[in-house]
Structure 1
């Protein structure tokens, strides 16, 4: 692959610059100072399967439409998943093309192409309602707290709950750990922080009890959650500090006291304090998607109160929108704040969310 260097005909003529070279240069710059590098690399993997060794001059409206058609003919199966999977949406293909467009834009900024190709994106699809009512969130929270929805009251239609039995894995862990047993409440903590602050999933999972250079931390004395550290990589997704909600504060105080009273051992057996706010028996967590999906199904979120539409189980699988993901907590907080009368600008500033339509 030809290395990008100084300006010259080879770097300025779109007929001589290959798409792989352009993407490689973009990914290199992303790795040097962006938190979006992993996502960009994932997009590039799919882009290269279609575009191959084509040149920038071959980026046309038709080839972009061909890319969308090729991607939407594929299906996505999560790691470890079974079955036919879900069709790739035009919106997913569009986000991948946005990465291609960003790569072309960076190359043009650096080398001044004689003619800059325009990446054509698919039309935006109709937005689907994607937020939880407080009643739905209440059901979700009860599920992760260890309750099971067994029936509904015929008169009030309210759920009837009973305590779910402890599963064999937890029972075995409790017996083996003895006094060192730590209840696994990581999903409950994740839900409460996400619901009351609308913080992005990765930022929630990175939160620490003490100040950190990269990750955010909880300042109980200042009643503030700092969503990112001072040296966090620059990203378009801002993570401004936010005031701790009055209902969340006592929960954080409770969790802090519990964690401060515990010690965990690392891989070498050395004891140490619990550092992360959301942890699984003292260990940091990378993702909660699967656990969240299981809880959402048990809470009856396959059918939603806001529109009565079935998210899964439709006669045509193509009509399925899927169960909600953890990101729905962010949408929920934004919606509830707007419903409470806050103006969009204030909501955007609190959440670190763009209010541009």
Structure 2
């Protein structure tokens, strides 16, 4: 891969100083510098900061030495072939590249934006857990030598609220009102993004687990923790519990699918369930509507 001797001093001096400098052309800035700046300025301010850092490793390796002008449909497609990963993974990683370029433009460092060509959005997965599978997963989590201190609670929160993994692992006790029985998924001071983070009522069965967890660790800051240290990605321990429970094709996000599916199967009002899950009613109906007992009932009985 060809390297570049482009100097980026003029473009990125504002990172370490407040001196105003005019925006530069796409051919005058290295992609790796854009990625570094976005990571340093945004990763700690967004809920998906950890995902950004993971994406940086392959992005930096592939785009090293190239300027932003090298980002084309052909080079984006070449990145996908080079990664040899699922379209969803490539799409997320190129999304980080797009965010880095947009951030530089919004901050006045780039003269214009770029179109990042992403793979098609994959079809939503249908995998969800039956009640029996969920019970087996919880039993396995409680048997884990180290993870049993936090993994069962992580799973319970996921099953009862349908929250995303990043929201659960970032959840702090100051976001929970155990008296009123409420969780505010939007942390104080955190900028709102397109990911809806509602304030919800804590399900009765979950409230008892949260109260006991608080009593066990009254000084903890994060709800999901190990001896006070937050666990931001229980991926390995979750996968181990799935193996022990004999479950395949199950990731933490399946807990969200499960909560949405169970809610629809129980005949929940779609506007109320969508608000609880932090998704649009249209998305809820499109993906999970066929699980509702009233799904196409009138249409099916027209004749």
Change in Cα spacing, 1:229 to 1:21, as seen in structure 2 (3 Å) is closer
Give the corresponding residue for 1:198: 162
Distance 2:37 2:220 in 1: 40
Give the corresponding residue for 1:29: 41
Q: Which has more helix, going by share of residues?
A: 2
- Could you tell me which of 223, 243, 254 is aligned with 1:328? 254
Q: Secondary structure at the match of 1:33?
A: coil
**1:27 Cα deviation from its structure 2 partner:** 2.6
**1:195 Cα deviation from its structure 2 partner:** 0.7
- Once superposed, which parts of structure 1, at least 4 consecutive aligned residues long, lie more than 6 Å away? none
Unmatched 5+ residue regions in structure 2?
1-7, 15-19, 284-303
Deviations 1:289-311 (A, max 9, x none): 22221221222212xxxxxxxxx
Provide TM-score, normalisation by structure 2.
Answer: 0.74
Distance 1:67 1:201 in 2: 27
Unmatched 5+ residue regions in structure 1?
73-87, 147-166, 171-182, 261-272, 303-322
Larger radius of gyration: 1
Q: Which has more strand, going by share of residues?
A: 1
Q: Are residue 126 (structure 1) and residue 90 (structure 2) matched?
A: no
Deviations 1:125-149 (A, max 9, x none): 3333222122211222233345xxx
Are 2:43 and 2:52, in contact at CA under 8 Å, matched by a contact in 1?
A: no
Q: How many residues matched?
A: 269
Are 2:73 and 2:117, in contact at CA under 8 Å, matched by a contact in 1?
A: yes
Equivalent residues in 2 for 1:94-109, closer than 5 Å: 94-109=91-106
**1:236 Cα deviation from its structure 2 partner:** 4.3
Give the corresponding residue for 1:187: 151
Give the corresponding residue for 2:294: none
Change in Cα spacing, 1:65 to 1:197, as seen in structure 2 (3 Å) is same
Provide TM-score, normalisation by structure 1.
Answer: 0.64
Q: Secondary structure at the match of 1:122?
A: coil
Q: Secondary structure at the match of 2:27?
A: coil
Distance 1:228 1:145 in 2: 29
Give the corresponding residue for 1:50: 62
Q: Are residue 143 (structure 1) and residue 101 (structure 2) matched?
A: no
Give the corresponding residue for 1:299: 245
